[in-house]
Amino acid sequence: MPLNCGIVGLPNVGKSTIFNALTQTQAAQAANYPFCTIEPNTGLVTVPDARLWVLKDIAKTNKVVPQRLEIVDIAGLVKGASKGEGKGNEFLSAIKNVDAVLHVVRCFIDPDVIHVDGSIDPVRDIEIIDLELMLKDEETVKAALDRSKKRSQLDKDAAARVPTLEKLVAAFKELKPVRALGLTEEQQAHISDLHLITAKAMLFVCNIGENDIRVGGNEHSRAVQAHAAKVGAKAILISGKIESELVGLSGDERAMFMQDLGITEAGVDSLVRAGYEILGLSTYFTAGVQEVRAWQFQKGWKAPRCAGVIHTDFE
């Protein structure tokens, strides 16, 4: 089962457009009104890796098996989602089940596409979503803390968990996400069953206009990049409009279009690689006459555990 990344953001920021470009489908409805995505859409995307094709030529095989990631397009979030506003309950339930978060932020200017808050301000949009996620996590952690305190007299594990949960409650009051706290392995084990949203790796995806791609972004995307640096996150640029156009082109047409734009790689390829990176994943390969295959492992694993990805007998 591949790891997955959930695409989140306010309504009308381009989540479904980017999802369709990633999966090269029209599975997600993209429309100029809030909540056109209700149920999460899922799709598998190939992790681009040029080394596979070099190994294919060396091994003289016709079969190449790349790594894949699952992408989930989740309903748009609005202020008050932690209390059930908009599609908040559905959103927060779906996001708890993903491994990492791709936060799409509107940085393009288009008067024909409405913004739920009336103006383009990506840092404000980020803070709206961050607050809702923290409020939901705070609710989860406080409930777990109450349970642990009640059982702490008779349960050593519950007692050991209390300081970690208290640390998180204090952090939420300072609007700090779990991922920014530098928890130890023991502390992470204390909260692993809670599936906290702000503990998940996050990547900011700046959805910019077609003309902005040529000049490396705009004032809005630069504001997001500065914000990402402050909170220890990463941000990348993508134009949902360009990516949706690339999907319908043949190989030669695609290459010419990208050359005209002055880009060497499709934005969706950069996005998939970035998603792979924030999940802490890396790749090794097996190659032979039958096939060349990419295998996924977590960075930091020792060789026997990596070999166990192929078969448990190798560990």
**What is d(CA 259, CA 248) in angstroms, rounded to the nearest whole number?**
16
- Stretch among 139-148, 177-186, 254-263 having the lowest mean pLDDT: 254-263
Question: What are the residue boundaries of the structural domains of the chain, listed by start?
Answer: 4-314
Q: Give the pTM.
A: 0.84
| 4-40 pLDDT, tens digit each | 899 988 888 888 889 888 887 544 444 443 444 445 6
Q: What are phi and psi of 6, to 5 degrees?
A: -100, 130
Mean pLDDT of the chain: 86
Q: How confident is the model at residue 59 (pLDDT cuts 50, 70, 90)?
A: very high
Q: Which helix (H) or strand (E) holds 296?
A: strand 292-298
pLDDT at 149: 96
* Fold (topology level) of 4-314: Rossmann fold (3.40.50)
| Burial class of residue 31 (count of CB atoms within 10 Å of its CB; 0-12, 13-18, 19+) | exposed
User: For residue 202, which of 300, 122, 282, 104 has the smallest C-alpha distance?
Assistant: 104
CA angle, corner 66, sides to 62 and 71, nearest 5? Answer: 145
Burial (CB count within 10 angstroms: exposed 0-12, middle 13-18, buried 19+), residue 226: exposed
Task: State how far the alpha carbon of 131 is from the alpha carbons of 37, 83, 126, 175, 226, in Å.
Answer: 22, 12, 9, 7, 19
- How far apart CA 66 and CA 283 sit, in angstroms, is 10
Would the pLDDT of 63 be above 60? yes
Neighbouring residues of 125: CB distance < 8 A, sequence distance ≥ 6: 9, 10, 13, 105, 106, 117
pLDDT in tens, 143-173: 999 999 999 999 999 999 999 999 999 999 9
